[in-house]
Amino acid sequence: MRIYRLSAEMTGFIDNQRKTGQKIGFVPTMGALHQGHISLINESKNDNNLTICSIFVNPTQFNNAADFQKYPITIENDINLLELAGCDILFLPSIEEIYPTQLTKEHYDLGSLETILEGKYRPGHFQGVCLVVDRLLSIIHCDDLYLGQKDYQQCMVIEKLVELKNYDLKMHFCETIRENDGLAMSSRNARLNESERIQATAIYDTFLYIKNNISLESLDGIKKTAQEALTSKGFIVDYVALTNEKLEPLDIWDGKSTIVALVAAYLNEVRLIDNMIIA
Ligand code: AMP
């Protein structure tokens, strides 16, 4: 696997490859890689001649400084996993490469996406996500972009960014990879202690409860019970939401349209998010 640290060199290499007709797939990450990330690499390898992974812990998307400081960094292990998966290129830039002093910071008009759910609880977070993804896409001219549905709202935000900036690429929203007990794989899981790790499965159990009861109870009743179940397992809940596929809240269900259940909750210091398409 080739490793590039400089933006100009990264762009030069990719543009040369594209000239020779190579199709490029791109998987942006913040490292501390797990099989969820690797599933995106595998998807990209299926569709493209060259797969590029970036690892960059983006300071502008952390609305909480301690969360940024404590973000796990496991670069040697990440490189091993990427080599094993057959990733072709790793882009591993410094903060200065991504945010040179002359870079003018744009503001992205994300509409209501910025004020609901994650946007409400993490002010500024999605502007930071757009800033880094915009910068990465301007360095890495890819044909296909791979994102995890684990971050459902982020997928929608990046879809909006791609539309706003007219990036000519195809987006792929890939299924959430879970541990055997249902916990969604996440770099933040490494910060859970033994008992928190056991408690954390309550999120998946909550989705199963919602799925099994969606046509039996009112949506409000289901949300209330789900929230109480999480609280009783030691979570401090930011939200339990039931929405349509555009993340618009639902009060009633017509029995046939798509319902997405989304949860964000803290186990002590660690904030976990997850979602499931219920129907
Ligand atoms: P992150 O390193 O957390 O920024 O994630 C990088 C990419 O991997 C994002 O598109 C995430 O949505 C995706 N991702 C994270 N966890 C999972 C998972 N468990 N399954 C599938 N994709 C994931």
Residue 276's DSSP bridge partners are 261
Q: Which atom of ligand 1 is nearest to the CA of 184?
A: 19
Q: Which atom of ligand 1 is nearest to the CA of 31?
A: 2
Q: Which of 34, 37, 125, 172 is catalytic?
A: 37
* Lining residues, ligand 1, CB within 6 Å: 29-30, 36-37, 39-40, 147-148, 150-151, 174, 176-177, 184-187
pLDDT value of residue 194: 98
pLDDT in tens, 117-163: 999 999 999 999 999 999 999 999 999 999 999 999 999 999 999 99
pLDDT value of residue 219: 97
**Domain extents in the chain:** 2-174, 187-277
Which CB contacts under 8 angstroms, 24+ apart, belong to 64-70? Answer: 64/122, 66/269, 67/271, 70/191, 70/269
Q: Which atom of ligand 1 is nearest to the CA of 186?
A: 16
Distance 148 CA to ligand 1 centre (A): 5
pLDDT in tens, 216-271: 999 999 999 999 999 999 999 999 999 999 999 999 999 999 999 999 999 999 99
Please tell me the distance from the alpha carbon of residue 29 to that of residue 37, in angstroms, as a whole number.
8
Distance 36 CA to ligand 1 centre (A): 6
Q: Which atom of ligand 1 is nearest to the CA of 146?
A: 10
pLDDT in tens, 77-94: 999 999 999 999 999 999
Dihedral over alpha carbons 20, 26, 30, 33 (to 10 degrees): -100
If you ran DSSP here, which 8-state letter would residue 106 be given? P
Q: Of 3.40.50.300, 3.30.1300.10, 1.20.272.10, 1.10.10.10, which CATH number belongs to 187-277?
A: 3.30.1300.10
pLDDT value of residue 5: 98
CA nearest neighbour of 107 among 156, 159, 161, 155 = 161
pLDDT in tens, 8-53: 999 999 999 999 999 999 999 999 999 999 999 999 999 999 999 9
Instruction: Give, to the nearest 10 degrees, the angle between helix 219-232 and helix 202-213.
Output: 160
Overall average pLDDT of the 157-172 stretch:
98
CATH 3.40.50.620 fits 2-174, yes or no: yes
For atom 18 of ligand 1, the residue with the nearest CA is: 36
Distance 174 CA to ligand 1 centre (A): 9
pLDDT value of residue 258: 97
Asked if residues 6 and 93 have their Cβ atoms less than 8 Å apart, the reply is: yes
37 is catalytic: yes
pLDDT value of residue 3: 98
Distance 186 CA to ligand 1 centre (A): 7
Overall average pLDDT of the 209-221 stretch:
97
pLDDT value of residue 100: 97
